[in-house]
Chains A and B, each alone.
Chain A
Amino acid sequence: MKKYLLKCQVNGKNIEREIRPDKTLLEFIREDLGLTGTKEGCGEGECGACLDLLDGRAVNSCLMMAAQAHGKKIITIEGLRDEKNPLIDSFAKEAAVQCGFCIPGFIIKAEELLSENPEATDDEIKESLAGNLCRCTGYKNIIKAVGKVRKKCLK
């Protein structure tokens, strides 16, 4: 097996690691970096629990090989927590969390949406989060929590 020298930036830190070529990005983030906020739900692109930001775009890390992140900037839920991203507080305040397993994926996706479209409508929020599954909450409070972080609500 030929190890791959992966150089990337994770949550603002430059990382250089020799990795096994058969690692997915999800495995690299969870196992090698110990950033366990990124979850594995389905491993098939269906649930969105594994979303991370790659150069600002939400991607399903279960379907990317880690080597594909070479030269890229990755932000995980831990990165958003460290910068005190308002979505995290809003999810707590709006009681949008039950077991919490799906929430990092929702917050990552919402962060991508609001960075691009800070005044997204409820329909745009729903459309954007349509690839994320939650088995507990029923979604209403999740949509509400994202809505509260829109530009006009934060003023």
Chain B
Amino acid sequence: MPEVIEKFYSLKELWKKLPKLPVDRKYLAGGTDLIVGYNLGISSNECYLDISDIRELNLVRENKKQVFIGAGVKLAELGKNSLIKRWVPALYDCVPHFASSSLRNMATLGGNLANASPSADGVCALAASRAWVLLNLYGKRESKPVLSVLKGPKKNALKKDQIIEGFIVPKKRHKAVFLKLISRAKFGIGKVGICVCADIEKKFVKDINVVLSSVAPTVFEAKKTSSILKYSYLTAKIVEKASETIRTEVSPISDIRSAQDYRREMCGVLLERALRYIA
């Protein structure tokens, strides 16, 4: 149960006040993971650091080469943003599949990554877009590929107090498709999710990145499958080979949402479908 809750409006203020706050502390953004755990009595911390109004985390901006997406921008905002539509189509396509529209008014990409769920939709779209995550600890910044922050189901590699400031996505024209297999629309966690970003000209694949969710311990980049498709023409034979490969590349489990074999099978089906949409 939080004994202390502290709100911050800037990173400078956060780094200044942080050392004086209880050691058992946790960042609180949209709360759509953290407070579910709190309400269920599964997780609790002595101190919540409310970062939802930190200015630096609530920006989307661009320079010549990159788009920066603040870790605290709400999913609903991202779904209306013209820079996201143009340069991060995977994320734009992902938003309507992400929870319900009221949850999207709260949920953030920072929380989606830090929570490290194998089924994180936003992480799947960011990884397919080859995004890097920008981390900050007492003003010391570092950036690394998004998936390198994931260590296993619900385990991330963030250092204590390290904050996800945002995501950097290279500006490269491409097409994207995001598909999610789910029993009942708007109820969150999918059986399988796939996001494909590709540069395809007249059926020739110049570049491609295939990323999956809910079929491995973390959101997962299907590198073997992508390498089969890259520099190939999308013939029926190649698509079949890729969909066979993706079924062997993933490592799904059986759980309340779906069975292992079905998930494996559907990875191939969804890949074929995604390639059809994108070609």
Contact = CB atoms under 8 A, between A and B. Distances in A.
Contact of B3 (A1, A62, A65, A109): A1
Which of B4, B40, B50, B105 has the most chain A CB atoms closer than 10 A to its own CB?
B105
B259 interface: no
Interface residues of B, number: 31
A95 interface: no
Contacts of A24: 35, 39
Given A64-B31, A65-B2, A131 B100 contact: yes
B39 A131 contact: no
B224 to A, nearest CB: 36
Contacts of A43: 39-40
Given A68-B28, A128-B101, A63 B106 contact: yes
A98 B13 CA distance: 50
Interface in A75-94: none
B3 A127 contact: no
Interface on chain B toward A: helix, strand, loop, or mixed SS?
loop
A38 interface: no
B48 interface: yes
Contact of A60 (B2, B7, B106, B185): B106
Contacts of A21: 2-5, 48
Contacts, number: 89
Which of B48, B100, B105 has the most chain A CB atoms closer than 10 A to its own CB?
B100
Given A67-B7, A68-B52, A131 B99 contact: yes
Nearest to A128: B101
Interface in A22-51: 22, 24, 43-46, 48, 51
Interface residues of A, number: 31
Interface in A114-131: 127-128, 130-131
10 contacts: A2-B4, A43-B40, A58-B101, A58-B105, A59-B106, A63-B30, A64-B106, A71-B53, A130-B186, A131-B102
Given A45-B99, A64-B106, A68-B28, 13 more contacts: A22-B1, A44-B40, A45-B100, A46-B188, A51-B102, A54-B105, A60-B106, A63-B32, A63-B39, A65-B48, A68-B7, A68-B31, A131-B100
Interface of A: 1-2, 4, 21-22, 24, 43-46, 48, 51, 54, 57-60, 62-65, 67-68, 70-71, 109, 127-128, 130-132
Interface of B: 1-5, 7, 28, 30-32, 35-36, 39-40, 48, 50, 52-53, 76, 96, 99-103, 105-106, 185-188
